[in-house]
Chains A and B, each alone.
Chain A
Amino acid sequence: MSGKTLYDKLWDDHLVKQNSDGSALLYIDRHLLHEVTSPQAFEGLRLAGRKPWRIDTNLATPDHNVQTTDRSGGVDSIVDPISRIQVKTLDENCDSFGITEFKMNDARQGIVHVVGPEQGATLPGMTVVCGDSHTATHGAFAALAHGIGTSEVEHVLATQCLIAKKMENMLVRVSGQLGVGVTAKDVVLHIIGVIGTAGGTGYAIEFGGDAIGSISMEGRMTICNMAIEAGARVGLVGVDDKTIAYVKDRPFAPKGPQWEQAVEAWKNLVSDDDAEFDHVVEINAEDILPQVTWGTSPEMVAPVTACVPDPAQMSDPVKREGTERALHYMGLKPNQKLTDIQLDRVFIGSCTNSRIEDLREAAAVVKGKKVASSLKQALVVPGSGLVKQQAEAEGLDKIFMDAGMEWREPGCSMCLAMNPDKLGAGEHCASTSNRNFEGRQGFGGRTHLVSPAMAAAAAVVGRFVDIRDILSA
């Protein structure tokens, strides 16, 4: 019999009951909540007269609606009354059920997928769920983590379990050494370009290979975060020394003898050498160049050195029509150079790229330079209040502001524009976020997904540039 994959191990460790019809009951160790996908779940719980099964596994923070400008007035300072009600509803639900919440003015508040790992609330070997598809982020810690809908949020609150069906195993192995200027974001965008936006549907993807091993925990979070953009609800990386070093001494992490016991158990959280995957994708690290998306799906991506594709050259009619529609929406012409796209705004932030390393990477590029005068705005939005504090301690805020960028309060911000930060119709944005869907960053807005370094370089020049040219200059 062959060995187990990391996903097999995590699944087996959390199996409460396997039913004969193929469905299973899976135990949930950590439930993260935010204001958008939880109100209906709490209401459902109340209407049915049910109580949360285990309060201590829940951790909440508002992130989608919060403004990134002054918020000293707390929740009452949210101008949009509908947004305000939604954040207040989270506050009230957490207060009444006794759930730990980092409220708007708490330094620990931030994007839920930044907050979980930062607090050590995400631990190796856990099952982690949240009513948000980017819950895949937490898989960087060898945690079985995925997004759920609101009905399932209610289900987890009420039962501490999910009704689940086992996925298939996919290994994406990235071998070799990443080039200078090529970051975790470029790795995952390249992978999505190779396997497609539905390539991972039905799979838990494990990212392996020496190139993944060489990437920091924060970079691994960026990669797992976007597993969902390849269709996979789950992205995973096995435990190594970096994982354990990152978790150590975080507020929610185990301490003392329990820490030693946990570390022993976590060392087993890798796929066995003889484990068999249902599907293996081999990627050569040297083939990965800095990436830019040109279309309206994350798979519509190309190296910065490339041109916009020509739909006339495509034989598949569904793909051709999709490309034509995307180019029309994006206001781009076939065969146009990606470096010729004029930008209107730059957004550095989101659960994909708003951690301290992302901000350092961006700051290193803009240090001593100025944002192009053709830009309307360059926003830097840290992922949490603690990331913000750290960045300020390192003087990164000053570097950004000296360059003419705006330094903001933490939240999801312009990634999905539920708060006041949004694109105007027709505006092109170099964005470190995760989705370039139509209207995602604002009605009619045109998103190009890039790494923090590429976004910072684009801010300085006003259009895309190959970050490798800047780094070698």
Chain B
Amino acid sequence: MKKFTQHQGIVAPLDRANVDTDMIIPKQFLKSIKRSGFGPNLFDELRYLDEGQPDQDCSQRPLNPDFVLNKPRYEGCSILLARKNFGCGSSREHAPWALEDFGIRAIIAPSYADIFFNNSFKNGLLPIILEEATVDALFQAVEANEGYQLTIDLEKQVVIQPDGTELVFDIDAFRKHCLLNGLDDIGLTLEQADAIRDYEAARRQTAPWLFS
């Protein structure tokens, strides 16, 4: 997994609540058996005016000029500013894969759906939670300042605004450790193989029907 330590980038504001994973990456693109290549189809139905198909050359498709990621001022953005309950709906990990493949490294929102939130950490994508009023203020700052950038320092758990003020965020200690070091969960869990075997041996005694 890609490490996340510090990141500075252009912020794009996606001003709608309850953005679901069907919206982030529509179902026809889930037919791929690969983990990469979803970036051109991120927010496909919002981003293009036609209906997208898998394996299509997206460079020839008509863009929706009103969609935030198509606006020249947000070109090259790597931080997505979003509203509450971002990533609700399906468990598809294709959603963080698409965001990451597009170039998004962090999201800032007041809340996330649980499965999306969890999936993001497995892919080096940092979902930051800030209070609704703070997110509101960031939306205003982004709208008002072309080229608005934020800096994220995961070690210090702060989002640094252009004037140097810092917005502190909370993060689970284990997830922070994994992101900072780019650690593979499976490798870590397999270090506990003896504990898993001990659990199985004990459980086999109390619930043998789960092992027959």
Q: In the complex, which residues of chain A have a beta carbon less than 8 angstroms from the beta carbon of B45? A: 438-439, 443
Does B26 make an interface contact (CB < 8 A)? yes
Contact A321 B174 (CB under 8 A): no
A151 and B212 contact, Cβ closer than 8 Å, known pairs A321-B16, A439-B22: no
Contact B90 A438 (CB under 8 A): no
User: A198 to B188, alpha carbons, bound, how many Å?
Assistant: 32
Q: Report which of A82, A151, A228, A443 forms a contact with B185, defined as CB distance below 8 A.
A: A151
User: A53 to B93, alpha carbons, bound, how many Å?
Assistant: 22
Does B32 make an interface contact (CB < 8 A)? yes
- How large, as a class, is the contact surface on chain A? 35 or more
Does B141 make an interface contact (CB < 8 A)? no
Contact A163 B18 (CB under 8 A): no
Q: In the complex, which residues of chain B have a beta carbon less than 8 angstroms from the beta carbon of A259? A: 209
Q: How far is the CB of B108 from chain A (nearest CB, A)?
A: 16
User: A297 to B20, alpha carbons, bound, how many Å?
Assistant: 9
Q: In the complex, which residues of chain A have a beta carbon less than 8 angstroms from the beta carbon of B34? A: 40
Q: How far is the CB of A191 from chain B (nearest CB, A)?
A: 16
User: A223 to B98, alpha carbons, bound, how many Å?
Assistant: 31
Interface centre among A146, A148, A149 (most CB of B within 10 A): A149
Q: Report which of B18, B26, B189, B193 forms a contact with A197, defined as CB distance below 8 A.
A: B18
A16 and B196 contact, Cβ closer than 8 Å, known pairs A83-B31, A322-B17: yes
Q: Report which of B28, B89, B196 forms a contact with A435, defined as CB distance below 8 A.
A: B89
Does B173 make an interface contact (CB < 8 A)? yes
Does A332 make an interface contact (CB < 8 A)? no
Does A105 make an interface contact (CB < 8 A)? no
State which of A124-132, A357-365, A382-390 sits at the interface with chain B: A124-132
Q: How far is the CB of B52 from chain A (nearest CB, A)?
A: 8
A37 and B23 contact, Cβ closer than 8 Å, known pairs A21-B173, A231-B85: no
Q: In the complex, which residues of chain A have a beta carbon less than 8 angstroms from the beta carbon of B105? A: none
What sequence of 0s and 1s flags, for each residue 52-75 of chain B, a beta carbon within 8 Å of any chain A beta carbon? Answer: 001100000000000000000000
Sorted nearest first, the 4 A-B pairs with minimum C-beta distance are A254-B209, A149-B93, A149-B119, A151-B122
Interface residue ranges, B against A (CB under 8 Å): 15-18, 20, 22-23, 26-28, 30-35, 45, 51, 54-55, 83-85, 88-93, 96, 111-115, 118-119, 122-123, 172-174, 177, 185-186, 188-190, 192-193, 195-196, 199-200, 203, 206-210, 212
Selected A-B contacts with CB under 8 Å, 11 pairs:
A16-B196, A43-B35, A86-B32, A133-B91, A149-B91, A151-B123, A158-B190, A198-B18, A258-B209, A321-B15, A418-B30
Interface residue ranges, A against B (CB under 8 Å): 16-17, 19, 21-23, 25, 27, 29, 36-37, 39-40, 43, 48, 50, 53, 64-65, 80, 82-83, 85-86, 89, 123, 125-126, 131-133, 135, 146-152, 154-155, 158-161, 163, 165, 197-198, 201-202, 228, 231, 233, 254, 258-259, 261-262, 265, 297, 318-319, 321-322, 325, 416-418, 435, 437-440, 443-444
